[in-house]
């Protein structure tokens, strides 16, 4: 009996063990599958996180980049922009059309003082890069010898060259553009000046001044910082219209005083003061001086005389591109055409003799066309009212062997037809 029970128990235990083994096996498979699914889900989540983070970095990075490029405004001025702008300044200077004095020192010997000038100090002709210049001394007046008194309206132009300017150039160093009532060197009772400073270590302290009958009427700072412009080669232009005096340094007008010039102050002088005498310091030179009367205004001249010739319309060398400073005379021609709606004109371009004759003819025609297009496009002059022609070098009015002569031959004519 006991044996039978024992056998039954053993059979039951074996059955249970087999079932448990089978259950455990099934459970193991289920656990393994669950574990795999868990791992897969976790991998997916981690992958998704990394993917999202990568995408966020990409898109956020682009946003940040845009923010860095964004321009900020501070005090009304845009900052953080690397864009540069070209600023074009209009010049209302027009050369006088009746030359009374001209000198480029071509006939003066190097080392001599120029024959057409007077001084109470020293100066000498030097040659720089093949061009002759008059070197001015440190404390002297220089007077061009003109046979006639200057009229109420005239212009003065010259090239200015400075070398050796530095932080030690004195604030009491001056290049004075004087108009006085005498041709000598005695004290003047009626005079005015525009005083240019070559000083570099402080803002250029130039002044204007007027004295009438020995009494100062005006003294004021110019108020323009032209330290950079006055270094090296620059161009000085002066226009006097009765009592008004204007001065340009290159194409920038730095002086415009309506009642600066006193009566009888009609002699032009250049006065240098306070320059260092060392050979390589504060050197000041001038060249290409031209003084010319301003005759009848160009608008009236074209209407009444039917012809206007000018050298005041300037072009880039070998090109039909018009440079700054030509606006005034073209505007005057436009005003003449606007005042007489039935008037027609011909624009004739002329060149000097440099280069090929046929090329010069084509260039002169292109320049005449460039002037015409300004009249048409900027001043609303009807296209058919303006004819053009290019004469090239065929009709010179001066000697083409000199620089001054060539400059006269490079001209534009307006003829009423």
Residues 304 and 289 in one domain: no
Which of 272, 293, 314 is the C-terminal boundary of a domain?
293
CA distance 370 to 323: 11
CATH (domain of 320): 3.30.1330.60
Distance, CA of 150 to chain centre: 32
pLDDT at 71: 40
**First-to-final CA distance of the chain:** 153
Does some domain include residue 87?
no
Residues 247 and 304 in one domain: no
Residue with tokens 């070197």: 135
pLDDT at 126: 96
Mean pLDDT, each 10-residue run in order, the chain (417 residues): 54 52 55 59 57 50 45 33 42 78 95 96 94 93 91 94 93 95 93 96 90 96 92 94 93 92 95 86 95 78 89 89 80 92 96 94 96 96 97 93 88 95
pLDDT at 158: 96
Residue with tokens 């132009």: 157
User: Which residues, in sequence order, are bridge partners of residue 389?
Assistant: 348
Residues 208 and 346 in one domain: no
Does some domain include residue 25?
no
- Other C-beta atoms within 10 Å of 74: how many? 8
Residues 244 and 136 in one domain: yes
Residue 218: CA atoms inside 13 Å, Cβ hemisphere, count?
A: 21
- The enclosing H or E element of 20 equals helix 2-69
CATH (domain of 142): 2.60.120.200
Q: What is the DSSP string of 351-376?
A: --SSS-HHHHHHHHHHHHHHHHHHHH
Cα dihedral sign, 16-17-20-26: negative
- The alpha-carbon radius of gyration of the chain (Å, integer) is 42
Residues 286 and 380 in one domain: no
Distance, CA of 20 to chain centre: 100
CA-based nearest residue to 236, from 259, 253, 260, 224: 253
Distance, CA of 288 to chain centre: 22
Residue 181 near residue 188, CB atoms below 8 Å: yes
pLDDT at 82: 39
Does some domain include residue 86?
no
């Amino acid at each position: 009996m006991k044996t039978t029970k024992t056998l039954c128990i053993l059979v039951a235990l074996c059955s249970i063990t087999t079932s448990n083994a089978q259950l455990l096996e099934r459970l193991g498979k289920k656990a393994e599958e669950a574990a795999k699914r868990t791992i897969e889900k976790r991998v997916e989540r981690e992958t998704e996180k990394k993917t999202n983070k990568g995408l966020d970095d990409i898109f956020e990075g682009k946003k940040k980049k845009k923010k860095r490029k964004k321009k900020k405004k501070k005090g009304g001025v845009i900052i953080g922009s690397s864009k540069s702008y070209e600023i074009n300044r209009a010049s209302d200077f027009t050369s006088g059309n009746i030359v009374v004095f001209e000198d480029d020192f071509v006939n003066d010997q190097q080392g001599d003082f120029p024959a057409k000038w007077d001084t109470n100090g020293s100066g000498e002709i030097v040659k720089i890069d093949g061009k002759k210049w008059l070197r001015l001394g440190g404390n002297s007046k220089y007077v061009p010898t003109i046979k006639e008194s200057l009229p109420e309206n005239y212009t003065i132009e010259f090239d200015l060259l400075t070398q050796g300017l530095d932080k030690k150039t004195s604030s009491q160093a001056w290049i004075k553009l004087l108009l006085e009532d005498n041709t000598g060197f005695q004290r003047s009772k009626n005079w005015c000046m525009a005083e240019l400073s070559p000083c570099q270590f402080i803002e250029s302290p130039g002044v204007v001044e007027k004295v009438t009958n020995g009494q100062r009427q005006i003294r004021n700072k110019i108020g323009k910082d032209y330290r950079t412009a006055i270094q090296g080669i620059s161009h000085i232009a002066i226009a006097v219209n009765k009592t008004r005096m204007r001065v340009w340094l290159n194409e920038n007008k730095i002086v415009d005083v309506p009642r600066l010039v006193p009566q009888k102050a009609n002699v032009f002088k250049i006065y240098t003061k306070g320059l260092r005498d060392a050979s390589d310091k504060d050197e000041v030179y001038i060249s290409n001086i031209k003084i010319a009367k301003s005759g009848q205004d160009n608008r009236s001249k074209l209407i009444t005389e039917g012809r206007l010739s000018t050298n005041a319309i300037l072009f880039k060398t070998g090109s039909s591109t018009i440079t700054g400073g030509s606006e005034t005379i073209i505007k005057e021609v436009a005003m003449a055409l606007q005042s007489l709606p039935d008037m027609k004109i011909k624009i004739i371009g002329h060149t000097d003799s440099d280069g090929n004759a046929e090329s010069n003819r084509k260039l002169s025609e292109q320049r005449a066309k460039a002037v015409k297009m300004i009249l048409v496009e900027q001043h609303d002059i009807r296209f058919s009212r303006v004819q053009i022609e290019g004469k090239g070098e065929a009709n010179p009015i001066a000697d083409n062997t000199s620089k001054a002569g060539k400059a006269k031959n490079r001209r534009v004519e307006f003829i009423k037809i």
